Amino acid sequence: MNMADQLKYKEIFSQSVNEPDVFWGKAAESVVWNKKWDKVLDDSKKPFYRWFAGGELNTCYNALDYQIESGRADQTAIIYDSPVTNTIQKISYKELLDMVSKFAGALNSLGVKKGDTVIIYMPMIPQALVAMLSCARIGAVHSVVFGGFAPNELAIRIDDAKPKVIISASCGIEGKKTLPYKPLLDEAIKIASHKPEKCIIYQRPQVKAEMMASRDLDWNDLMKDAKAVGCVSVAATDPLYILYTSGTTGKPKGVMRDNGGHAVALKWSMKYIYDMKPGEVYWAASDVGWVVGHSYIVYAPLLYGCTTIIYEGKPVGTPDPGAFWRVISQHGVSVLFTAPTAFRAIKKEDPNGDYLKKYDIKCLRYLFLAGERLDPDTYHWASDMLKIPVVDHWWQTETGWPIAANCMGIEKFPIKAGSPTKPVPGYNVQILDADGNQLPNGEEGSVVIKLPLPPGCLPTLWQDDKRYLEYVTERPGYYVTGDGGRFDEDGYIFIMGRIDDVINVAGHRLSTGAMEEIVSKHKDVAECAVFGAEDQLKGQVPVGFVVLKAGVDRNPDDIVKELVQMVRNELGALACFKEAAVVKALPKTRSGKTLRSTMRKIVDGKDYVVPSTIDDPATLDVIAQAAKTIGYGKK
């Protein structure tokens, strides 16, 4: 960007929050509408807000058909790079449209129509994107479930989303392991009360799934006879997808995303946050099962005419810590977006960057990191190695795109390690104290966003307006993010971590409440506390303390092993729940509240103050002792 057209953050930000109608109305001109909106922002039902009310469009049309009409037919839309199967496949926009319009036709032929729900439980293969875009094409609402979730978690989502059809594959490949998906899917459907009419299975060569003749259909057979269909016009406010995320209880929250606001916000973000140009290669090294995958593997790059990468591999071990550099140099990646944990994994195996030296990655302009706090050590390492801006940015499944970032397409601010810089235009971020008063710069409190949230953020939770209200009624007029943090004297924001029972394990958002519910089900457990302990590689890992029922005299190690297995079976291996200790009692206040934050400090080896409200101070010594036995606490 030359100085003449250097945009100024302050002016843009101020218009975005003071005149959101004008600001987003202008941004919306970049999207193709079938019918223009009546109102940019409909705030007639506060605290429920709707963007582009009265407008109609189709997200798939904007992502594919429009790109082809604009001359991108032969440009690569998707690069499927799979070191685990030794495959590199390039799919042009035209080829992708052919696949999507046919698969959309196949869904139609099974009776799936506008407003119906479809669950997608798939690994990182192009068919996952085809399935998502096909739903968007016919106005069906997709809900992608991360492949690492166990059948029980999938069943919970099936019962909530009530899909007409489930789309899956015969297996996923995790590093060196091949994981059959079909038995997990069958088990989930068995557990769920809602039964889908049909399941479509993509048979991968590595594993052949057994099919149930009355219910299961082979992806390839369906495609042979499928007739291509066009785009269905949907309301801007109609749901595009549901994405379940962890709340503080065992019941996940179905974040709903609309069509209009989502397309506008994501397209805007590609230019102003990521400084991308249409035609360039954008790589979000995440998974389609997470929000980063939805927004920045699938929708944003295609809506903006970029090439996106589906990478079926890991940062290390597939085959080595040079994997990311290989992909960047081989495919000419301009922007890489991943989670800090991926960089910690690379740093651990290749601290001096020897693998990096083997590749020419001059094409890479920026590294964007999100999903968890970017610790200053990892920031400095990445920045020293790559010698390009390493941009920390903060967001949530609920918002769908960044809340705070150093917007590379607006004004490049000096980077401060540990801070995702400043609120992104559209997000009026504030810090409140326990009584709801705004705190001055420098003081830490609850991070909130003044309503309305910008386009692209959740308008509500799937068929659960009541639970959505929990976000916006705790502090009337604000959306409560659940994160704690502060602004510094220069207006930089620092996000210090969740102030609720949500934890981040290797960039994966999990609920300790959900794990406690599972652990409590064990026949010998009287009560338990699970919380996040600091971890060098994964940021946080769950650790549990368990009190046994009176009279249980079994070997505690056996009980812990069973608990670990239960969480693995019911939630999934991705929870990484591997450590727990049996204790006589949990530390509690006199009113019976478990002192989790004090326990967390003990486990992390930090100094703590014995709370004045504690019932029995000796319980803290018990926790300190138990923490040592599982490798935590003061060394």
Q: Which residues bind ligand AMP (CB under 6 A)?
A: 245, 291, 370-374, 392-397, 420, 481-483, 495, 498, 504, 509
CA–CA separation, 79 vs 88, rounded Å?
7
CA–CA separation, 425 vs 409, rounded Å?
12
* Residue 190 CB, nearest approach to ligand AMP (Å): 28
Quick one: 162 or 373, whose CB is closer to ligand AMP?
A: 373
Applying CB under 6 A, among 160, 174, 216, 579 the residue interacting with ligand COA is 174
Going residue by residue from 274 to 293, which x/- string records binding to ligand COA, judged by CB under 6 A?
A: ------------x---x-x-
Query: Tokens in use for 573?
Result: 């291996």
Quick one: 348 or 357, whose CB is closer to ligand COA?
A: 348
> Which span sits near ligand COA by CB under 6 A: 14-22, 128-136, 206-214, 334-342?
334-342
Location of structure tokens 């291996």: 573
- Is the sign of the CA dihedral 620, 622, 628, 632 positive or negative? negative
Please give the DSSP secondary-structure letter assigned to residue 297: I
Residues 359-398 that bind ligand COA (CB under 6 A): 371
Helices (H) and strands (E) in the chain, counts: 20, 31
Instruction: Decide: is 573 part of the binding site for ligand COA (CB under 6 A).
Output: yes
Residue 321: strand, helix, or coil: coil
Instruction: Decide: is 454 part of the binding site for ligand COA (CB under 6 A).
Output: no
574 binds, among ligand COA, ligand AMP, none (CB under 5 to 8 A by kind): ligand COA
CA–CA separation, 356 vs 369, rounded Å?
18
Applying CB under 6 A, among 201, 342, 510, 548 the residue interacting with ligand COA is 342
Going residue by residue from 410 to 449, which x/- string records binding to ligand COA, judged by CB under 6 A?
A: ----------------------------------------
Please give the DSSP secondary-structure letter assigned to residue 41: E
**β-strand 165-169 against 117-121: which pairing, if any?**
parallel
Quick one: 164 or 294, whose CB is closer to ligand AMP?
A: 294
In DSSP notation, 370-417 reads -SS---HHHHHHHHHHH-S-EEE-B--TTTSS-SEE--TTT--PPP-T
Residues 106-135 that bind ligand COA (CB under 6 A): none
189 binds, among ligand COA, ligand AMP, none (CB under 5 to 8 A by kind): none
Is-contact 588 595, C-beta < 8 A?
yes
Location of structure tokens 């109305």: 25
* Residue 248 CB, nearest approach to ligand AMP (Å): 12
201 binds, among ligand COA, ligand AMP, none (CB under 5 to 8 A by kind): none
CA-nearest of 277, 288, 397, 292 to 340 is 292
241 binds, among ligand COA, ligand AMP, none (CB under 5 to 8 A by kind): none
Residues 502-521 that bind ligand COA (CB under 6 A): 506-507
Quick one: 436 or 484, whose CB is closer to ligand AMP?
A: 484
Quick one: 331 or 393, whose CB is closer to ligand AMP?
A: 393
67 binds, among ligand AMP, ligand COA, none (CB under 5 to 8 A by kind): none
* Residue 341 CB, nearest approach to ligand AMP (Å): 11
Host H or E run for residue 12: helix 9-18
CA–CA separation, 247 vs 243, rounded Å?
12
Is-contact 235 59, C-beta < 8 A?
no
